[in-house]
Amino acid sequence: MAQLAAEWGDTELSLKALRSQAQIGNLFLLWRPGLKDVRRTPGFKALVRELGLYDYWRATGQWGEFCHPVDQNDFECS
């Protein structure tokens, strides 16, 4: 659902679907190629913070290939 909504340009529906899946442990969906534009939104950044991923990345320095720090308090994803 998240990827289809993203492909149709419905970012809010995509984020809602991602949030639902993340709450049951399906974090791998966050990184699907079709969600690249969704990952660039403030809503995605909020989701990442809600899930504790931002805090983990900051603490460990392990940002992975999709997100990186911009400054001491911000990050961006692609």
- Rounded Cα distance between 78 and 76, Å, is 7
Q: How many domains does the chain have?
A: 1
- What are the pLDDT digits (tens) for 7-58? 999 999 999 999 999 989 999 999 999 999 999 999 999 999 999 999 999 9
Single-letter amino acid code for the residue at 32 = R
| Two tokens, residue 11 | 């970012």
List the domain range (segments joined by +) for residue 60.
Answer: 2-77
Check residue 35 and report its DSSP letter: G
Q: What is the pTM of this model?
A: 0.90
pLDDT of the residue at 15: 97
Q: Which helix (H) or strand (E) holds 73?
A: none
Single-letter amino acid code for the residue at 46 = A
Interval 55-68 mean pLDDT: 95
